Chain A
């Protein structure tokens, strides 16, 4: 047994301690983790402050006072707070849309307040703007020149604050002189800004001016501004699904995401480790190191060691990715979407699926002379590879259909099917879990037996690569 573990350890290191593996397998979850932790910190960084004034040529005589009010320090602070609240509400709404209950939503809300995730609001620049009202007959070209002196990034106002923007509001923008299709037509207002003015500030000026103009129109028409604004709010929606157990919140995203993630985890870890096993076996054969190794260990020890070693690689991938997945669920306070026993099943089915695939890969690797010859024997593996992808949607949509139940007992694909069904939203008959594991274990025993025979004959066989019929003959040879 000692030799088997020496081989396993070497096989593990031969795959893991390579640049390709570290770049391909370890870096992506690492980056994901970094993004999750660093993003809020980065987003927390405040946008640069903006100092300066907005010049207004108001030909209506009613808009300028409203604008001056909108850019008063109190109003600017109010808007910023409002934006923070909106961000928080959006996240809470998002988690509700994913089907989380109120308790969990409250948890998220609490975490959002403790956590600088709401830092998005800080993107709004720290503005210190004043409104300078110019006489209505000021020349636009003259007033524009002042903007050229500004950079848009002024930190200190040197007595006279820099001119960041110029608004030209024509009389026609509030009082309409003509009509089209029964509606009044208003003249557009002009906004001239310094080239590097913060986009958030620009959009704020645009929005506030628009609002000031509309309010002026309402006032001119003798309407109550607050009433009209209140009536114009867009209605909110509450959606539920009708089920026998009573109406439940729609759970569509979580319903598809979690089982899908589970199956892909299983799929990626099984097939990437299987692929590593195939290439390392072929390399040993084509470089003729095989016989050197076989002078020290038996073919069985070699095969076992290789399967364990590459299995450890698969397990590492599985733990790494499921770890990152879990960490992000915990981060978003959604960890109870994935019960712990689902993880246990994930690892049990990984073991079954991996050994089956590994046996296939070891047999193919041992039987051929190089990677090109392996292609022709890969057909059965490709089938197993593709089937879970095809079955994914139908099984998810109906985890307890006859089709899904039958697939749970088909050797080779049943680990994938069971992982989908178990992590899905519907409860499956309890007896089917141990029964499918039993089917899996029986197929593992059979595959090991067959692979052992093929491996033993194949490893020292050079020359014409065998076809599947020959492989079956090898298995049947005593």
Chain B
């Protein structure tokens, strides 16, 4: 399989701050790649270097087989993190303008603009000025601007920011649709939840350093923490000898919920059967790790602080909007 993007030993500093350090990355064609990491991790910097908007201090970068994205701009769709629209321009005129800049002829630009506006439920905004749209509507218009020329490579920076749950669902659907059509997609988000639901490969970055880069399935296989959670109905049952069940390495109890960390070779089925017979339980489950857990495990250090870092929204966006 060929790679849409190949990055070798990429470095970029802003003054004394190292934004990206010796980064290697391969994005295979047709993949749906998630870039995740907290604010200021280097996601947008990496994306901007891929787009040749800023230039690396050192390292190699190939986009769609060319040494620079400039050479294949018409094959790339890009939704920047810092995105805007011409406030006074009409929505239809704006989209047609962008489409023409991306190499479509006038008639095709108009046709696709109308089709897309219908597709995202904004058909009636064609003649409205951009400034009349709500933030979420503007976001959809900007997404159309990124995909209208049917690019081979689609790069979406913080695409879910500022959308309500319903529009997030629509956006996920649209991204999947684009991926099903064979397009390579990179999207960055600080929200691990979106990444978990959508991408098939994951790239994690923190303080400019890559911490993880593998397919999602492999992540679940590799970072399976083998943990069983038990919640007894009767609070008194918390004191039962859970820790001495077969295969349990460690036991931890908080607010009447017991976490049992297992040995590598533990028989999960047998353990769950025995746990169920020890006391009447409300629930007993094999816990799947969240990407957040994986990230924290990989980075190490102060888990609470990291969680806080991950959950804080991107710059300029109110918290509740960011979390949706």
Known: A295-B76, A297-B73, A460-B54. A3 touches B83 (CB 8 A): no
A244 within 8 A of B: no
Q: How far is the CA of A294 from the CA of B146 in the complex (A)?
A: 12
Task: Choose one: A287, A297, A460; the contact of B84 (CB below 8 Å).
Answer: A287
Task: Kindly identify which residue among A14, A295, A296 contacts B89, using a CB–CB cutoff of 8 Å.
Answer: A14
A291 within 8 A of B: yes
The answer to the question of B51 belonging to the interface, with a C-beta cut-off of 8 Å to chain A, is yes
Given A6-B100, A460-B53, A460-B54, A295–B80 Cβ distance below 8 Å? yes
Q: How far is the CB of A478 from chain B (nearest CB, A)?
A: 11
Task: Tell me if A430 is interfacial: C-beta within 8 Å of chain B.
Answer: no
Q: Are A292 and B145 in contact, with the CB atoms below 8 A? A: yes
Contact between chains at B98 and A296 (CB < 8 Å): yes
A469 at interface, CB cutoff 8 A: no
Q: Indicate if the CB atoms of A292 and B100 lie closer than 8 Å.
A: no
Give B44 Cβ to nearest chain A Cβ, in Å: 10
Q: Does B299 contact A (CB under 8 A)?
A: no
- CA distance in complex: A118, B227 (Å): 106
CB–CB A10/B83 < 8 A: no
Residues of A within 8 A of B53 (CB): 291, 294-295, 460
Does B35 have its Cβ within 8 Å of any Cβ on chain A? no
Contact yes or no, B73 A295, CB < 8 A: yes
The total of chain A residues at the interface (CB under 8 A) is: 21
| A226 at the B interface (CB under 8 A) | no
Interface string of B87-103 (1 = CB under 8 A from A): 11100000001101110
How far is A287 from B87 in the complex, measured between Cα atoms in Å? 8
Q: Could you count the A-B residue pairs with CB atoms below 8 Å apart for me: how many are there? A: 65
Q: Verify B83–A291 contact, CB threshold 8 A.
A: yes
**Closest B residue by C-beta to A7:** B101
Interfacial chain B residues near A292, Cβ < 8 Å:
78-80, 83-85, 98, 142, 145
> When the two chains form their complex, are residues B86 and A287 in contact, meaning their CB atoms are under 8 A apart?
yes
Tell me if B124 counts as interface (CB < 8 A to partner A): no
Question: Is the CB of B70 closer than 8 A to any CB of chain A?
Answer: yes
Report how far A14 CA is from B87 CA in the complex, Å: 11
Contact check, B101 vs A289: say whether CB atoms are below 8 A apart: no
Contact with A along B115-146 (1 / 0, CB 8 A): 00000000000000000000000000010011
Instruction: Given A292-B142, A297-B73, A460-B53, check contact A10 B82 (CB 8 Å).
Output: no
Give the Cβ gap from B147 to chain A, nearest Cβ, in Å.
12
One digit per residue, 1 when the CB lies within 8 angstroms of any chain B CB and 0 when it does not, for chain A 263-296 equals: 0000000000000000000011001111111111
Instruction: Decide if A3 touches B82 in the complex (CB within 8 Å).
Output: no
A290 to B82, CA, bound (A): 9
Bound-state CA distance A297–B51 (Å) is 11
Q: A290 contacts B84, CB within 8 Å?
A: yes
Which residue of chain A has the shortest Cβ distance to B86 in the bound complex? A289
CB of B82 within 8 A of CB of A288, answer yes
B-chain residues with CB within 8 Å of residue A295 when the two chains form the complex? 51, 53, 73, 76-78, 80, 146
CB of B85 within 8 A of CB of A287, answer: yes
Interface of A, secondary structure class, is helix
The verdict on A298 contacting chain B, using a C-beta distance below 8 Å, is yes
CA gap between A364 and B186 in the complex, in Å: 34
Instruction: Report the bound CA distance from A292 to B70 in whole Å.
Output: 14
Contacting residues, chain A, for B76 (C-beta < 8 A): 295
Interface core residue of A3, A296, A298 (most chain B CB under 10 Å): A296
Q: Which residue of B lies closest to A299 (CB)?
A: B53
Contact assessment for B85 and A3 in the assembled complex, using a CB-CB cutoff below 8 Å: no
B185: shortest Cβ distance to chain A, in Å?
A: 15
By a CB distance below 8 angstroms, the chain B residues around A294 are: 53
Q: State whether A288 touches B101 (Cβ < 8 A).
A: no
Cβ–Cβ contact A296 & B83, under 8 A: no
Give the distance to chain A from B110, nearest Cβ to Cβ, in Å.
14
Knowing A292-B142, A292-B145, A460-B53, say if A297 contacts B83 (CB, 8 Å).
no
Q: Which one of B70, B88, B97, B142 lies within 8 Å of A6 (CB-CB)?
A: B97
CA distance A291 to B69 in the complex (A): 14
**A residues in contact with B51, CB < 8 Å:** 295
Residue from the list B82, B98, B100 in contact with A291, Cβ < 8 A: B82
Shortest distance from the beta carbon of B229 to any chain A beta carbon, whole Å: 45
**Given A7-B101, A295-B51, A296-B102, A289:B70 Cβ within 8 A:** no
A462 CA to B84 CA, complexed, in Å = 14
Q: Within 8 Å CB of A3, what residues of B?
A: 101
Find chain A residues with CB under 8 A from B82 CB. 288, 290-291, 462
In the bound assembly, the distance between CA atoms of A288 and B83 in angstroms comes to 5
Q: Is the CB of B84 within 8 A of A296?
A: no
Nearest B-chain residue to A305, judged by Cβ? B101
Please name all residues of chain A whose beta carbon is closer than 8 Å to the beta carbon of B78 when the two chains form the complex: 291-292, 295
A290-349 interface with B by 8 A CB criterion: 290-298
Identity of the chain A residue whose Cβ is nearest the Cβ of B87 in the assembled complex: A287
Q: Which residues of B contact A287 (CB under 8 A)?
A: 84-87
Contact B101 A297 (CB under 8 A): yes
Cα distance A410–B146 when bound, in Å? 47
A298 to B80 CA separation, bound complex (whole angstroms): 15
- Determine how close the nearest CB of chain A comes to the CB of B240; give it in whole angstroms: 59
Determine if A10 and B97 form an interchain contact, defined as CB atoms under 8 angstroms apart.
yes
> Given the complex of chains A and B, what is the CA–CA distance between A295 and B73 in angstroms?
7
What is the CA–CA distance of A3 and B97 in the complex, to the nearest angstrom?
Answer: 10
A289 partner residues in chain B, CB cutoff 8 A: 83-86
- Which of A7, A287, A297, A462 has the most chain B CB within a 10 Å cutoff? A287
Q: Which of B248-275 contact A (CB under 8 A)?
A: none
Task: Report Cα–Cα, A298/B53, bound state, in Å.
Answer: 9
- Give the 10 A-B CB pairs with smallest separation, nearest first: A288-B84, A295-B78, A289-B84, A291-B80, A287-B84, A296-B101, A288-B82, A296-B102, A6-B100, A291-B82
Q: List 26 A-B contacts (CB under 8 A).
A: A3-B101, A6-B100, A6-B101, A10-B97, A14-B88, A284-B86, A287-B86, A288-B82, A288-B83, A289-B83, A289-B84, A291-B82, A292-B145, A294-B53, A295-B51, A295-B73, A295-B76, A295-B77, A295-B80, A295-B146, A296-B73, A296-B102, A297-B73, A298-B70, A460-B53, A462-B82
Other than the given A290-B84, A295-B73, 9 more pairs (CB < 8 A) read A14-B86, A287-B85, A288-B84, A289-B85, A292-B79, A292-B80, A292-B83, A295-B51, A297-B73
